[in-house]
Structure 1
Amino acid sequence: MKREKVKHMSVKGGASLFALRIFVTCLAAAAWWECLFSVFPGMVVSRSWLYGAGLVLAVIIGGAVSCPRRKVAVPAVILAAALLCWRFFYVIQGAAAHLVNAYLAVHQERGFEVRFWEEGSLSAGTLAVGTAVLVCVPLLTILLLVIRWGRGKLVAVLILLLPVLAAILEGAFPSAWATWMLIVTGGCYLTAAGAGGRDMAGPAGAAWAGTAIAAVTLLVLGGVSVLAGRAADVIRLEEDGFYSQTRQAIQTGVVDNLNAVRLRMEGQDEEADDRPEEEEQLPREREEDRAEVAAKEAPSASDEQSETPGDSGAGTLPWDTEADGMTDLASVARFSPDGTAAVDVRLEEAPYGTVYYPLRWGGAYTGQSWEETSGEDGRDSLFLSWPEGLDRLEELCASWPSDTVEEAEKQIDRELTQKAVYDTEPGRTPTGEDFAEYFVFESERGFCVHFATAAVLMYRMMGYPARYVEGYAVPASAFSRQADGTYLAVADGTMGHAWCETFEDGEWTVREHTPASDGSASPGSETQTASDSALRHGQAGDQEKAGPGAMRIAGRAALLLAIVGCVIGAFFLQAAVRRKRRLRVLGGRNRTKAVEAIYGTIYDRSRTMGMKESSPLREETCRRMADMWDSIKEQEMRWLYQLVLESMFNEKRPSAREYRKAMDIYRKTGAEMYSRLRGWQRWKYKYIWCL
């Protein structure tokens, strides 16, 4: 009767583990595809067909590698797949051409000459099924074999990271949600794979619980990291806070002294002593921060350098300009940051985001240039005008719903993100071509001037007054607190930037549409309000409403959550390490130590279940251990006891058959123990006892 009960539990547990493995493998494969789709938009494959076919293939492959007759099932599946590929080779060929062309399209955007493959005409469903057979069969096979055998997890990790590596090679990165999806599903997959392989599969309930806990933990840690990242700048810029005090101490006690030593070595003591106090107060940051290094090397701003926006003499930008100061779009070919024309930017309060310092505004657009304007009234029809001949751009904007300027902003941002990529050397616009239309529909490569110009025209065509702005985008990290309580940064050519502004409710608002790039001039990513005061700087709307006090509280709360998350992660990590060590001994090639570890674990389990402590190698202890378990007979425990004695004292190496029998006793006691425990005891069994 006991044997029948154990057999029923084993079959039920095996089915549950099979379902878990299929589930986590399919989720990981779906996240793998989403990362590819987010970077290579040319992969136009029906997701429903692709994921449906992947699920069917996962069940077939998983069943083949898990069934008792796998020596026959696996070759049969391989043969069937080969016959299908041979019969429908044109489908496989078309799917391969589609995937390769999608990759080459992104590769071409970086300026490489590529040769595309010829694609056949396939329906969406046929293309998805062909893609599933071409890619999902090897992908799922490797992932299922790793999770089935419990080995090769490093190979699985490398395979899961392939989309990320491919994206990085093309100078891109998967979207945030796709990346987090891959991290969470990959963690669940590795947790399920760590539950045990062929010989050490633990209780199915424990495997499901561990996978669920891993998913929740990763989601919590992900949320905490996002909150901590958003609040990091608030904590960093807190007045008289720990960061500010530490930074000031390092500045005065280390950096300044090292700089003085360097100047003495270079024989420049006299020049250093002649510098005004204002220059000595300028921020000195790490050398790898290009913008701030340039600010240090630039001369301090004199009284002749205006801090008032709109003074066209306040600075020059790192691209060609016309005589009147506005950018000559016909000559724009590359973005070359430099450290000239430094301008002091001083704020009364610490900035929480990018500070936009305008130099000049563009009103009328001619197709090859912007005409500078001093008009501040957004109701002027000038800010709703565009030249004739922009038919493609007008047709594109006419198809978008734009009930509010925020909806228009999302539409423009989505279109520019999908159509164009950031490039510091896009080349000149051909003669006779409109600058904006050529950028959006032809070259699809450009930097801030291109994105800002196109965005201004799109807003105007959608009925919202907009203007083109050139100036500096100063990151919050460039500001340092001065002795008088203000915050100072030095803006120069490394921070040169162009952006768009829209007019609404009597004021101009910054609309940033240039994608973030290491080669850009620190474009902001938040929508900022530009007033007509002496200096226009922005803070995120939520931060303006909440205030510095609320943001400090949020930052400390995020820090506390991060600490709690790290403690929880460390708790689960120690349990995983201890279980891994135990399983490594149990599944090692040294069968003598494995059998001894099996007997010792059963003794620990018996003690946990209430057996009185005594010497493990006494015969009386063996009898008590047998009485503790319903799933094994006394003869089986005595046999294991004798096997341990022979291996320890007679140096007898257990055979493979004896080892498998001992593992069978080990699994029976583990399953019975877990079934007896309830609630909190199961947690202790899994994460504290690690039995």
Structure 2
Amino acid sequence: MKKRRAEKTGIRLWKENDKKFFVGSMDKFVLFLARTLAVGFLALAWWESLLSVFPIELDRKWLYMPLFAFSALCVWFAGIRGKKKIIPGAAGVILISSLIWKNKNLTVAVLDSLANAYLRVHDEGNVPLLLYNVPVTADVWLGVGIAVVTLPLLAVFSFMLSRDKGKAVVLVLLMLPVFLAAVEGAFPSVQACISLFFTAGVYYSISGKHSGRTVWREAVAAGGFLLILSILSWEAAQPIEAKKENKEGRYFQARAFVETRVIQKVEDAVRTGKEKQHDDNQGENASNQEKNEEDNEKYVDSGQVPEDDPLDMGQGAGTSSGGRPAFLTGTENSNLRNIGSFQPGDGEGLWVVSGTLPESTYYLPLEYGKDYADSSWQTVEPDDKVYAEYSQYPENLSRLMELCKKQNIYNVKDAANFIQTEFEENTVYSYSPGTTPGDWDFAEYFLFENKKGFCVHFATTATLMYRMMGFTARYAAGYSIPVSAFEKQEDGSYRAKVTGEMGHAWCETYDNGWMIREHTLPYTGDNPAAAPPASSSNRAQKENWVAAAAVLVLAAFLFWIHASVRRRQKARTAREYADGRGILSLYLMLWDIAEVAGTPRENSLSGSAFEKLKITLPEISGQDWEWIQQAVQQTMFGKQPPSKEIHERLYRLVMEEARIIQGKLTVRKKIRYRYVKCLPLSF
């Protein structure tokens, strides 16, 4: 024994430890660096997918640089084990809380910027309104503030990467931008979806790995594979997109079939249901009619609302035209060339009242554009007349006429699609586009030269384009009131206060009645590179493919989660004795297996039921079936349930039968076995 100990010298042990110490330190640093980059780039892709639909007025580099710094902190914190987390965790919470408390303006700027980004799309649709006033804040501090809001997301990403737990939670968080966009009828850009897919793939490939060398090898391999897959997917989609451009092809035929045979029928059914509900509500509303008439005596009927859901416009006592948007005629900006920025007016003293809650944004016109000449609208008070001027346009707008006349437009829907495509491909929304030079027409300068404007630019140009393509159209200016602005009153009616930011202009076309045509693009900032979510028809079609894929992935994920939870519940119920109830659970599981094999279920304990099971599951011997029948009947009718030993024996028998039957099933039946019946997979 002593001789063996003497053979191990201290010098050799010291050298080995020294080498391990050096290699271990480098490996830890490489592992930390890889995890930081993975979390940082994943958070960057997450924000890119969100901002492609809900834009924030911010230089994004000031958001992304702090993201990587905070990613390093979260990765470091996630690597700490046990009670060592308490001190740095508490210090971080105290530090962030104190910074938020001392920088209230920055906190307000961050929250208002995020709220504006979401509510511009959620509440206003295509009407770009600034709902909250954001305090003046430097881009660098605004970016840092938004990055601080991202800390919980970074913490979850870092924890999963180091512990390899919570993959489902991370997947839900990654899909959150897609969920929010889909709810609002939009989808992240194709580039954002690809970047999120790529970074998420690399991120998942290195999760749970604790060797720096292994992490980098896995990351490079996964990145190369995903890059090739992304390129192949993109190239494979090009022929499909080209075929979709053919208006005589199957894509347009299928779309027309869906629109006429499916969507139209659904809309008709919904409309019929609403009319029936409206008739049913007439009796209920009659009792409140007298009270509503008394309350509405102080309101002046606007005369421009649907007959089946009348709204009234009121103006407070002592209020004059101060509530009118500054871009309406009769002001100093009557010539549209003089309009350089969005000036909505104060809107004070105006409100609308409705007997029911409007289903969508309500448009309140204050004037209509009749004749257009020299960048000015000759306007009329709101009415439903169809003037001859609504089909006329200046002959000197040669560029706009050439663009419209060369199109093969057969109906107003085609015209609307063409106008929207032109705007999405060539213009962006801007609150301050600048004035129009004196030698330019307002509409042509907007569409062909400046390429940026707000609602007046879009509405004016759209109205002229409709007229040039042979359709009756009028320019409208007034207010657009979102549904969220309506508040329920004690008498059951809904009332909305009109604010200055609701000032808006839009276009209307006539076809057996006036139809509102909203062509103003969503606000995406003044940078033309920051295009709207659907910046072209091709891009919109591609995003539809991405959206469909996202919906399928989401549905598959939810289906998988549901099946996994049910499978665990069934396995736990069958495994527990529970005073004999586990035996009944195992008997029902045998019937589930038999159903997958093709035998209809029979909910009874009769001899014929057991005979069916014997035939369907011949792997279980006749002697065992007799024993199973006795155990089940004793559980149901005996004074004492069978013993735990009998339950354990039946459990092993059923699990063995499940193992055998799985090997004989076809792919379709395996799917039913695992995800419909949710039967156990391993024992």
The verdict on a shared fold, with TM-score over 0.5 as the criterion, is: no
What is the TM-score of this pair, normalised by structure 1? 0.39
What is the TM-score of this pair, normalised by structure 2? 0.39
